[in-house]
């Protein structure tokens, strides 16, 4: 019996101790919980909930480049660095002004042997040829001799003589750009010919920059290559990015419309971008390969929206050169591509896919292509 009592007593004592112990444990657990809650709460307010932004500006491809990217942790800075590296890589390959570039090498050997080029260059030349076909030669990657002759955007811009223009024009034909995919070479058939990828390389570079960002975990970014816009995802808060479209008759930065977009390129071509004045006339930089003079198609600005900037870039020039009617006809034939054209009589023509999406400022006459009604906005 005593044994039993002893056991009972010991048992009760142990029970009490266990109970006391678990009390202490649960109180410690409570404290740890409070600490963790405070830490997590503070963390959320600090950096855990909102992604870090990284912004960088620089010059590349003859223009101002700005990349703004959002990612968790330190990834954003590294991603933006890599995006810039990619843009500089494209410039090193495709700028006609860089003597070591693929384009310069191809131009030096015009009329001679094929030149081996990087896969990126081959791809862009191929895409440029496609746009040549699509526009019946209005978009011409062999426009080099005319671009050089006019020198628009350089210190020596001038109106060339009709003889000079005729001579340069005879060297401009994208069908004389030979692409050999299996050999990885490009060749210009005639001596004096010159490739100029200025109407497509920026778009390609923007796509490359976006790829570099996405690979680094960026889900939200705004890439601006001298007004060629490519957005990745949406704004960090989930709302669409808001891209303005330059008013062709106002100072830089004034817009006449806004497009809210996600994962989209928005690229404009306009007479106001690069130009010079001589004898009271304005000469802009978009040269018509058929006339050899700055294009006069009734368009003052053509903006194209497409998933990839390489397409939006090439198509904005193409639409500009085709004019309002043929340009819009081409756009409506292409899937996933939209356009906004401003004509010299101040009409805004918009592809029907942007109806209900685009916001146009007051005072503009707006027409949706293919639809009858004209609206005053």
Smallest distance from other proteins to CB 183, Å? 37
Smallest distance from other proteins to CB 347, Å? 19
Question: What letter would DSSP give residue 131?
Answer: H
Smallest distance from other proteins to CB 251, Å? 6
What is the spatial distance between Cα 374 and Cα 349, in angstroms, rounded to a whole number? 10
What is the spatial distance between Cα 288 and Cα 297, in angstroms, rounded to a whole number? 9
Structure-token pair, residue 357: 């999406």
| DSSP calls for 90-126 | HHHHH-TTSTTSHHHHHHHTTTSS-EE--HHHHHHHH
Q: For other proteins, which is the closer residue by CB, 63 or 185?
A: 63
What is the spatial distance between Cα 81 and Cα 115, in angstroms, rounded to a whole number? 31
Structure-token pair, residue 288: 């018509």
Q: How many CB atoms lie within 10 A of CB 323?
A: 19
Smallest distance from other proteins to CB 110, Å? 28
Structure-token pair, residue 126: 């191929």
Q: For other proteins, which is the closer residue by CB, 123 or 272?
A: 272
Q: For other proteins, which is the closer residue by CB, 25 or 374?
A: 25
Q: 58 and 106 in contact (C-beta within 8 Å)?
A: no
Smallest distance from other proteins to CB 143, Å? 21
Q: For other proteins, which is the closer residue by CB, 125 or 200?
A: 200
Smallest distance from other proteins to CB 266, Å? 4
Give the interface with other proteins as residue ranges (CB under 8 A). Answer: 20, 23-24, 27-28, 30-32, 34-35, 37-39, 41-42, 45-46, 57-59, 62-64, 66, 155, 157, 222, 224, 226-229, 231, 235, 241-246, 251-253, 255, 258, 266-268, 270, 272-276, 303
Q: How many residues does the chain have?
A: 377
Q: For other proteins, which is the closer residue by CB, 38 or 371?
A: 38
Select from 356, 339, 357 the least CA-distant residue to 348: 339
Smallest distance from other proteins to CB 43, Å? 8
First to last CA, the chain: 102
What is the spatial distance between Cα 242 and Cα 31, in angstroms, rounded to a whole number? 47
Q: 191 and 198 in contact (C-beta within 8 Å)?
A: no
Q: 116 and 184 in contact (C-beta within 8 Å)?
A: yes
**Residue 23: half-sphere exposure toward Cβ, Cα within 13 Å:** 6
Among left, alpha and beta (phi > 0; psi -120 to 50; other), residue 36 is alpha
Q: For other proteins, which is the closer residue by CB, 122 or 231?
A: 231
Q: For other proteins, which is the closer residue by CB, 46 or 99?
A: 46
Q: For other proteins, which is the closer residue by CB, 62 or 114?
A: 62
Phi and psi at 92, nearest 5°, equal -60, -25
Smallest distance from other proteins to CB 356, Å? 19
What is the spatial distance between Cα 133 and Cα 128, in angstroms, rounded to a whole number? 9
Question: What letter would DSSP give residue 295?
Answer: -
Q: For other proteins, which is the closer residue by CB, 75 or 316?
A: 316
Q: Helix (H, G, I), strand (E, B), or coil: what is residue 190?
A: coil
Smallest distance from other proteins to CB 61, Å? 11
Q: For other proteins, which is the closer residue by CB, 70 or 174?
A: 70
């Amino acid at each position: 019996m005593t044994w039993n009592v002893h056991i009972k007593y010991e048992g009760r004592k142990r029970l009490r101790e266990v109970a006391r112990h678990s009390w202490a444990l649960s109180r410690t657990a409570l404290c740890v919980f409070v600490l963790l809650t405070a830490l997590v709460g503070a963390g959320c307010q600090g950096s855990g909930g909102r992604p870090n932004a990284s912004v960088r500006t620089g010059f590349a491809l003859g223009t101002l480049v700005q990349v703004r990217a959002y990612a968790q942790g330190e990834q954003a800075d590294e991603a933006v660095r890599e995006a810039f590296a990619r843009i500089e890589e494209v410039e090193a390959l495709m700028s006609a002004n860089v003597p070591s570039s693929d384009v310069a090498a191809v131009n030096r050997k015009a009329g001679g042997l094929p030149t081996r080029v990087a896969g990126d260059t081959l791809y862009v030349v191929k895409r440029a040829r496609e746009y040549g076909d699509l526009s019946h030669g209005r978009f011409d990657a062999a426009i080099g001799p005319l671009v050089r002759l006019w020198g628009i955007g350089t210190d020596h811009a001038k109106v060339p003589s009709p003889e000079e223009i005729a001579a340069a024009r005879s060297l401009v034909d994208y069908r004389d750009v030979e692409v050999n995919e299996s050999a990885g070479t490009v060749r210009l058939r005639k001596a004096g010919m010159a490739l100029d990828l200025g109407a497509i390389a920026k778009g390609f570079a923007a796509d490359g920059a976006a790829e570099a960002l996405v690979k680094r975990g960026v889900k939200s970014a705004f890439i601006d290559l001298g007004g060629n816009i490519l957005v990745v995802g949406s704004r960090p808060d989930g709302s669409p990015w808001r891209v303005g479209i330059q008013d062709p008759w106002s100072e830089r930065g004034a817009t006449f419309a806004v497009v809210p977009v996600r994962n989209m390129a928005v690229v404009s071509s306009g007479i106001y971008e690069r130009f010079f004045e001589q004898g009271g006339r304005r000469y802009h930089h978009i040269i018509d390969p058929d006339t050899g003079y700055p294009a006069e198609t009734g368009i003052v600005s053509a903006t194209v929206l497409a998933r990839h900037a390489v397409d939006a870039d090439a198509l904005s020039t193409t639409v500009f050169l085709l004019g309002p009617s043929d340009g819009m006809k081409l756009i409506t034939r292409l899937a996933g591509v939209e356009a906004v054209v401003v004509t010299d009589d101040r009409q805004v023509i918009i592809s029907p896919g942007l109806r209900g999406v685009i916001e146009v400022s007051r005072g503009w006459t707006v027409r949706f292509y293919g639809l009858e009604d004209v609206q005053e906005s």
